[in-house]
């Protein structure tokens, strides 16, 4: 591993990505400049490792906290991973089916569902991503690191939290979905695992984000940077508010903290 001067964590949607779910030329250049300045850029996202690798192809990014802290990689090496026990998946599947909600299962490289619903279709359209494949046995044949629950009825969120509070953590990350990980796991926990595994606790750390599921990430770093397009609560938890993700906010924030020229 190289000797780095600092670590910078980036959320993807609404932060590093544009509305087309791609990294702009300006952000490509900013990430390259970070690496040239011996500063390690990392993704911290609810997306899968496969999606992150596809999105960051051609960039200087080779490190990420993925699936909300469930599968974490530095310089192409896995430093921690947390599969969800099959029994817990089966219990949640039965409960969500009774509520009329669909559930997707995520491995390192694939995702699948037993059946689709309207909320699922809306979420993947929003993310410019393909729908999960249909498979009733996928969760039994693979290690599952994250689950996605598709529901637009936020009044039912507490039903899930109450039923599974000792086993699973639920993050509402869109109007259509909740990301689900093991209890105690989050972007925050994933970042802490990365820092501990690499013995980099003394390095300055920064994070860029825009959503409620980025608040844990903000807690795990020294300097939290919210995008201008973030909600007011997220902004209130940040140390600095940069410009919008559509107005070169990444470069503006990096330059403000003198991480790039």
pLDDT in tens, 156-169: 999 999 999 999 99
The CATH number of the domain where 232 resides is what?
A: 3.40.50.1000
The Cβ of residue 94 has, within 10 Å, a number of other Cβ atoms equal to 9
Query: Residue 101 and residue 115: Cα distance in Å, rounded?
Result: 9
Residue 137 has pLDDT above 70, yes or no: yes
Domain span holding position 15 = 6-81+185-256
Question: Rounded CA gap, 251 and 168, in Å?
Answer: 36
Catalytic: 137? no
Residue-wise pLDDT for 212-261, tens only, equals 889 999 999 999 999 999 999 999 999 999 999 999 999 999 999 999 99
State whether 146 and 216 are in the same domain.
no
What's the whole-model pTM score?
0.87
Q: Give domain status of residue 113, yes or no.
A: yes
Whether 6 contacts 35, CB under 8 Å? no
How many structural domains does the chain have? 2
Residues 62 and 104 in one domain: no
Confidence of residue 1 (pLDDT cuts 50, 70, 90): low
* Any domain includes 261: no
């Amino acid at each position: 591993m190289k000797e780095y001067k600092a670590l910078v964590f980036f959320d993807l949607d609404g932060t590093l990505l544009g509305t087309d779910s791609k990294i702009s030329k300006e952000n490509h250049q900013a990430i390259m400049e970070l690496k040239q300045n011996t500063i390690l850029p990392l993704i911290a996202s609810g997306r899968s490792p496969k999606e992150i690798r596809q999105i960051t192809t051609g960039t200087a990014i080779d490190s990420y906290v993925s699936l909300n802290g469930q599968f974490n990689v530095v310089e192409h090496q896995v430093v921690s991973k947390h599969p969800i026990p099959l029994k817990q998946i089966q219990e949640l599947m039965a409960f969500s089916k009774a509520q009329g909600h669909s559930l997707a299962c995520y491995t390192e490289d694939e995702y699948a569902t037993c059946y689709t619903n309207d909320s699922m279709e809306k979420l993947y359209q929003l993310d410019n991503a393909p729908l999960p494949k249909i498979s009733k046995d996928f969760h039994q044949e693979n290690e599952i690191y994250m689950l996605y629950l598709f529901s637009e009825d936020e009044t039912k969120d507490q039903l899930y939290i109450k039923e599974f509070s000792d086993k699973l953590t639920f993050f509402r990350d869109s109007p259509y979905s909740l990301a689900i990980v093991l209890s105690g796991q989050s972007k925050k926990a994933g970042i802490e695992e990365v820092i501990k595994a690499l013995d980099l606790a003394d390095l300055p750390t920064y994070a860029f984000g825009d959503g409620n599921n980025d608040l844990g990430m903000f807690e795990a770093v020294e300097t939290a940077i919210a995008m201008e397009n973030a909600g007011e609560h997220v902004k209130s938890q940040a140390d600095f508010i940069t410009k919008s993700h559509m107005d070169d906010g990444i470069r503006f924030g990096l330059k403000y903290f003198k991480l790039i020229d």
